[in-house]
Amino acid sequence: MMNRRELLRNAAVFGCSIPFLGYCSRTSAIETFSLDSDIHKFTIGEFQCTIFRDTMWKYLAKDYFINADEVDLENALSRYNITPDNIPSPFISMLLQRGNEKILIDSGIGFSEEPLVFRGNEYVFKGQVNHLLAKEGINHSDITDVIISHFHPDHIGGIFSGKGNLNFPNAKFHTHQKEWDFWHSPSSENQSPLFKIFVEQNTTPLKDQNLNLINGDFQEIIPGITAVVADGHTPGQIALIIGSDKNQLIYISDAFLHPLHIERLHWQTNYDFDHQKAKQTRIKLLELANENEMMINAFHFEFPGLGNVEKVKENWKWNYLQS
């Protein structure tokens, strides 16, 4: 198994195929941002919830909204005070605590000292999840469960350290069988080579660990946490219903990358594996959240990504919750 230094050396070859480096033709391909408030806390049901802002990236509208009318898109972006060449997006991780349980949802991009060299520029993954966990007094060995929504780098990069050590040695790992099967089959051969390396480094070794592969839809994996099939972005992505009764949150992962994907369900993103299934998942999750009055947490929305949706005639509207 390659260590992180070897991974990044090899990854430099594949820079243009990395979705979160979608602006690789630019001189400044990746920008990190100064983060002011990186921790957001709240309670849902029996769980104390903490959302960590792992890092910030920026995307391009041509990748986020590949089939949008140019004029319509420009007007829509202006409502969010963003431009086509700069769509800021956080990467996050969520910690749930209940009694002795400490459950981490997604692990961030990871942290490395070795740079990725691309077109003469050097970039370093400086995910903050480990630092922020320590800031909250949480040791890696305290984590009892890690739930992986899907196998893209910004969700799995922090499972192993740069030296190849498991960051959460006492945890049980949960992910969907379909996600596991896809990335460990010939079906994934046309995916980004860098993504394949991240999978090899951060998920494949879990076969020798405490691994729970989820089967089916609406499966309770831990009391109070139900996995919901949310395929389309990847073949086995899951959303998570957290809490019970009328006090619930749904963690939608990457089913929506921006609130405009809620308002314009037909707008497609370059990062979805299957556009038709992605749209079906969007409708499924919106109806689920609306009918059950769920709070929503969206991975790539403005931090901390908490809000709700309402249906206005035949359209959907996203509302950020006030911090």
Enumerate the domain spans of the chain. 4-320
Which tens digit of pLDDT belongs to each residue from 148-177?
Answer: 999 999 999 999 987 889 999 999 999 999
Please tell me the distance from the alpha carbon of residue 323 to that of residue 317, in angstroms, as a whole number: 19
Per DSSP, 185 falls in state S
Residue 322: per-residue pLDDT:
79
Please tell me the distance from the alpha carbon of residue 221 to that of residue 216, in angstroms, as a whole number: 11
Residue 116: per-residue pLDDT:
57
Please tell me the distance from the alpha carbon of residue 208 to that of residue 308, in angstroms, as a whole number: 39
- State how beta strands 116-118 and 87-98 pair: unpaired
User: 93-116 b/e with 16+ CB inside 10 Å = b?
Assistant: bbbbbbeebbbbbbbbbbbbebeb
Please tell me the distance from the alpha carbon of residue 49 to that of residue 202, in angstroms, as a whole number: 25
Residue 112: per-residue pLDDT:
79
Take residue 68 and report the two structure tokens written for it: 């949008």
Please tell me the distance from the alpha carbon of residue 51 to that of residue 150, in angstroms, as a whole number: 18
Low-confidence ranges of the chain (pLDDT < 70): 1-36, 115-123, 323
* CATH of 4-320 given 3.60.15.10, 3.40.50.300, 3.20.20.60, 3.90.1150.10: 3.60.15.10
Residue 245: per-residue pLDDT:
81
Specify the 3-state DSSP secondary structure of 277. Answer: helix
Contact yes or no for 275/231 (Cβ under 8 A): no
Write the single-letter amino acid at 107.
S
CA 284 to each of CA 101, 255, 259, 300: distance values in angstroms, whole numbers, following the listed order: 30, 10, 16, 19
